[in-house]
Structure 1
Amino acid sequence: MRQPATLPARSPVAGLRRRRLSFVEVLAQSVSALAPSAAMVAVPALVLVPAGAATPWVLLAATALLVGVGWCLTQFARRMAAVGGLYSYTAKGLGPGGALVAGWALVIGYASVGVSALAGAGAYLGSLLGLAPTPLSSALLAALLGVAAVATTLRGIALSARVALALEVVSIALVVAVLTALVVLERGTGAVNEVTTATPGPGGLAVGAVLAVAGFMGFESASTLGVEARRPLVAVPRAVLWTPVVAGVLFLAAGAAQVLLLRTAPADVLDSAVPVGRLADLQGLGVLSGLLDAGIVASFFACVTGSVNALGRVLFSMGRERVLPAAAGRTSRRFGTPWVALLSVLPPVAGVPVVLLAAGVAPRTVLAGSLTVSAMGYLLAYVLACAAMPRFLRRIDELTPGPLVGGVLAAVLGSLVLLGAVLLGGAVVGVFVVLWLGGPLLWLFWRLRDPDRLTGVGVYDSATTGSVLAPRDR
């Protein structure tokens, strides 16, 4: 008679609050990390500068690519509950080397988008408060928001996720209302801004595509809640797939509206850190303009908390696997959160924008630069995860033609966008490469010093003796 498999007494990810989060809370993680209302306002204006008249098509192509990536990730999410998200997924198809390369790229992506969101939140909060955009005021606002975001994540994700989702829904409604009012009031007078009507070359399209893809970054972060979700094999795939679909529709609508509105806008509006807010002020929308600023601040802040939540859980996974110091794998007994990992991200996520803004770098420059760095990190992680998916399914004897074609197609298209980012990113590429080298060097270090440690990469939740009934108790 075949003996049943022996179950471990303790889950590899014990300490987190397992099976607590509802689908709404899991969805809220992806939505807050993506920050659709803030992206609706910020991203189309950024894409418009390099992509010109092709902006709607660039946004459409980015939507198609990210929906494809999301579909590939659901093939993992339906079969395993992980804390490391894409990092853990990639390990199951490409092994520890591919996982650390992808995982470190993901760390850079989450951290950089947090930097970007703090810069954006500070800019809109300054506008809301009527403060002059001086280096000191911008840096102080970013510092306060950064500390508040990390403090929020330390207390747990359930409450913050629901609040973030509610604020995001309100913010999206405000953005739609403001853009609709501006389109209705637009009279088409004044000189046409040539930037908005120019036909872009290959370089402009590539830069625009990178920035457009950056608007979706974070949609996959629900995959880091596989352990904490109540029904992880259902909730996580749904959140990962439907978030980019809905976000894409919103971005396309917002992009089309901004192409129309910014055609005849003064040059200083297009160059502003808050172009839609400036247009609302020029049209005398008054209270609605102020509410828009408040909504965007809330959305950017939610993006910081969502990114920090996901980043902390990836570092937690690496700590539990002992490829990072074991302290990163510690959890709070009171809140069930990876408190050491979360605290460790405060210096880079909050410190970088504070230093740059205090040095006089414009918030828009910090926003665009960190978005580009994050896009390269996310794209590399997405490409490797999509490439790993067919190999993972083949390992478990579940590979069919659909996932094979989908995985290869998503990996190839993602690679092309990443190549464009690398070739045209300028000095930002050097920043990304220097930061990303930590992943390969980490793999090389353990490969030479303790190869057996790498066999633990890709940890995920599993049943324990305490989570099932003994035969006599059934």
Structure 2
Amino acid sequence: MSALADAIRRGRPRLDLTRESPFAGLHRRHASVVDVVAQSIAATAPAGVMLVHPGAQFGRSGSLAFTELVLTVGLVVAVALVIGMFSRRISSTGSLYTFTTRGLGPWAGIVGGSALAMGYLAIAMNTLSSGAMRIAGLVTSEPGSIAGVAVAVMVCTTVITAGVIARGLRMSTRILLVLETIAVAAVLAISFAALSSTGWDLAPLVPRPTEFSPDIVMVGIAFALIGFVGFESGAALGPESRRPFASVPRGILVSVFATGAVVLVGTAAQLALVADDPTGPWASAAGIGWFVDLIVATSFLACSLAMTNAATRLAFALSREGVIPGVFGRVSPRGVPAAGAILIALVVLSVPSAVLLLGGSRDDLRIVTSPAGMIGFLLAYALVCVAAPVFLARIGELTTGAAVLSTVAGTALLAVLCTAVASTTATDPIGLVAVLAILGLVSSAGMVRLRRGTGVIERVGVHDWAVASDTIGGDGEVPR
């Protein structure tokens, strides 16, 4: 008999483990790496990004567009590696919020959590309204009825989103995986066809030195980064994943590399065509504008579901700590925070619906949601990079490589954040003021709760841990 088999045969229960983890009630240890990858990839919406962003990127940066995207992919990979420093040691539905709290303390954690929540909700609203408007444009050509059709599509999508999340984690992630896989496969096929039609002319990808400007590159990276935000959301599935300390960091890296590769191919194809028609290269090259709209809509609606899913898990962690109302921390018999999912889905629906029904447009919504998504995620990513070396030093595991990687990634993110804020100040001051006001109010409310709530500050940053039932002979656990 092997030593492992003998140890299993003679295994004794651990009597020092509690009966429940802080995330009791969740369906623990059932999700796989596939679920983490599906959540992360769907949140980045690579199919929709490939068809929408490159043309706008070219309009902003000219020949520097592809270079900016390559730099953005490198920065995202660095941030993913930093997140892996935490996710190999901590498992929490709070993801970056919990990581920042464990490194920099509860006050910084509240700021990071508020920024992350703002980012999730802003992108969820943006993609929900964008996907719905594209479907509405396919259904009707009457300008006066597009808003009503779009609201109807958003209502139907929200009902499906809340229902899917409430049914269970694996259902939501598998649906996301199927939708995004179909959309990405279609876009890749179009991309290769487009590249073939140009004779694989990659000259537009080469930057012209005369167009180089540090400010243009920084703003371009900030814009390109919007196409990758949400990749970290797979970390929120840690407590529900099998072998979370392996599956979560692995799943996040796989999703980053896959998304980066797909977006680079799609961008190369668009830039190869963009000289002929900068406003709509896909439609002009192949005459398939309706198909492009359908793919983008599918990808964006899947993104909205993924962002709502991530926001639900973040709210679950905050609720279990006592920072926000307890309803967000309740779980259904299926082991999912269904009530929180329904409430968050309704918030995501209500704002864009109100804007459209009151006579506004999607551009009116984006005045606030676009800078909210950009600033929220940049701030959350920067804080987790600053927190990583502090956390590792505290537990005696800081290495030179980890310190250098965290410092470089954090410095780059802060530089991009400052540039993005300066650019937004010049182009969209009203939106920036609204975003800063929202972030300030939410952070202040959280800090007040930390100071006044009984025992709240001691619970902030809570994470999952092994319980007696996770071990051999798990019936021998002791009460808390």
Smaller-chain TM-score bracket: 0.7 to 0.9
1:290 deviates by 4.6
**Does 2:162 align with 1:163?**
no
The equivalent position to 1:261 in structure 2, one of 273, 294, 303, is 273
Residues 214 and 374 in structure 1, CA contact (< 8 A), matched pair in contact too: yes
Mark the CA change 1:471 to 1:186 in structure 2 (over 3 Å): closer, same or farther.
closer
The equivalent position to 2:80 in structure 1, one of 46, 56, 70, is 70
TM-score, length basis structure 1: 0.88
CA distance in 2, matches of 1:160, 1:316: 17
Mark the CA change 1:55 to 1:100 in structure 2 (over 3 Å): closer, same or farther.
same
Mark the CA change 1:186 to 1:128 in structure 2 (over 3 Å): closer, same or farther.
farther
Per the alignment, residue 213 of structure 1 pairs with 225
CA distance in 2, matches of 1:443, 1:167: 36
CA distance in 2, matches of 1:75, 1:305: 27
Per the alignment, residue 323 of structure 1 pairs with 323
Residues 93 and 388 in structure 1, CA contact (< 8 A), matched pair in contact too: yes
Residues 226 and 374 in structure 2, CA contact (< 8 A), matched pair in contact too: yes
Per the alignment, residue 389 of structure 2 pairs with 390
The equivalent position to 2:36 in structure 1, one of 9, 26, 35, is 26
**Does 2:340 align with 1:341?**
yes
Mark the CA change 1:390 to 1:156 in structure 2 (over 3 Å): closer, same or farther.
same
CA distance in 1, matches of 2:186, 2:366: 22
Deviation string for 1:295-319 (max 9, x for gaps)?
3322212111111111001011010
User: Is 121-130 or 309-318 further displaced after alignment?
Assistant: 121-130
The alignment partner of 2:410 has SS state of helix
Mark the CA change 1:471 to 1:150 in structure 2 (over 3 Å): closer, same or farther.
closer
1:141 deviates by 2.5
CA distance in 2, matches of 1:35, 1:319: 28
Per the alignment, residue 237 of structure 1 pairs with 249
1:84 deviates by 0.6
For residues 160-309 of structure 1, what are the structure 2 equivalents within 5 Å? 160-185=172-197, 199=211, 202-265=214-277, 270=279, 275=280, 278-279=283-284, 283-285=286-288, 290-309=290-309
1:35 deviates by 1.3
CA distance in 2, matches of 1:365, 1:130: 22
CA distance in 1, matches of 2:210, 2:346: 41
User: Is 43-52 or 351-360 further displaced after alignment?
Assistant: 351-360
TM-score, length basis structure 2: 0.87
Deviation string for 1:138-191 (max 9, x for gaps)?
33333332332222212112022122212212211111222333444469xxxx
For residues 345-356 of structure 1, what are the structure 2 equivalents within 5 Å? 345-356=344-355
User: Is 316-325 or 237-246 further displaced after alignment?
Assistant: 237-246
Residues 121 and 301 in structure 1, CA contact (< 8 A), matched pair in contact too: yes
Question: How much identity, in percent, do the aligned residues show?
Answer: 30
1:363 deviates by 3.7
The alignment partner of 1:7 has SS state of coil
1:56 deviates by 0.6
**Does 2:401 align with 1:402?**
yes
The alignment partner of 1:82 has SS state of coil
Residues 21 and 467 in structure 2, CA contact (< 8 A), matched pair in contact too: yes
CA distance in 1, matches of 2:446, 2:351: 26
Mark the CA change 1:371 to 1:255 in structure 2 (over 3 Å): closer, same or farther.
farther
Per the alignment, residue 154 of structure 1 pairs with 166
CA distance in 2, matches of 1:397, 1:147: 47
Residues 323 and 450 in structure 2, CA contact (< 8 A), matched pair in contact too: no
Mark the CA change 1:48 to 1:392 in structure 2 (over 3 Å): closer, same or farther.
same
**Does 2:470 align with 1:467?**
yes
How many residues in Structure 1 have an aligned counterpart in Structure 2? 453
The equivalent position to 2:92 in structure 1, one of 76, 82, 86, is 82
Mark the CA change 1:358 to 1:59 in structure 2 (over 3 Å): closer, same or farther.
farther
CA distance in 1, matches of 2:214, 2:407: 24
CA distance in 2, matches of 1:437, 1:105: 10
CA distance in 2, matches of 1:451, 1:171: 48
1:100 deviates by 0.7
CA distance in 2, matches of 1:199, 1:398: 44
Per the alignment, residue 376 of structure 2 pairs with 377
CA distance in 2, matches of 1:454, 1:10: 21
CA distance in 2, matches of 1:197, 1:359: 47
CA distance in 2, matches of 1:446, 1:471: 37
Per the alignment, residue 415 of structure 1 pairs with 414
1:359 deviates by 4.4
The equivalent position to 1:428 in structure 2, one of 421, 431, 442, is 431
Mark the CA change 1:31 to 1:59 in structure 2 (over 3 Å): closer, same or farther.
same
What amino acid does structure 2 have at the position aligned with 1:169?
T
Mark the CA change 1:68 to 1:462 in structure 2 (over 3 Å): closer, same or farther.
same
CA distance in 2, matches of 1:17, 1:447: 28
Structure 2 unmatched runs, 5+: 1-13
1:451 deviates by 6.9
Residues 468 and 474 in structure 2, CA contact (< 8 A), matched pair in contact too: no
CA distance in 1, matches of 2:474, 2:79: 42
What amino acid does structure 2 have at the position aligned with 1:302?
A
1:423 deviates by 0.9
CA distance in 2, matches of 1:369, 1:243: 28
What amino acid does structure 2 have at the position aligned with 1:93?
G
Residues 355 and 364 in structure 2, CA contact (< 8 A), matched pair in contact too: no
CA distance in 1, matches of 2:133, 2:15: 56
1:206 deviates by 3.5
1:416 deviates by 0.7
CA distance in 2, matches of 1:328, 1:217: 24
Deviation string for 1:362-397 (max 9, x for gaps)?
446645863432121011111111111111111111
CA distance in 1, matches of 2:395, 2:447: 28
Aligned CA-pair RMSD: 2.8
Mark the CA change 1:242 to 1:370 in structure 2 (over 3 Å): closer, same or farther.
same
Structure 1 unmatched runs, 5+: none
The alignment partner of 1:440 has SS state of helix
Deviation string for 1:8-47 (max 9, x for gaps)?
2211101110001111112111111111111111222232
CA distance in 1, matches of 2:433, 2:210: 29
Mark the CA change 1:446 to 1:151 in structure 2 (over 3 Å): closer, same or farther.
same
Per the alignment, residue 148 of structure 2 pairs with 136
Mark the CA change 1:363 to 1:183 in structure 2 (over 3 Å): closer, same or farther.
farther
Mark the CA change 1:200 to 1:150 in structure 2 (over 3 Å): closer, same or farther.
farther
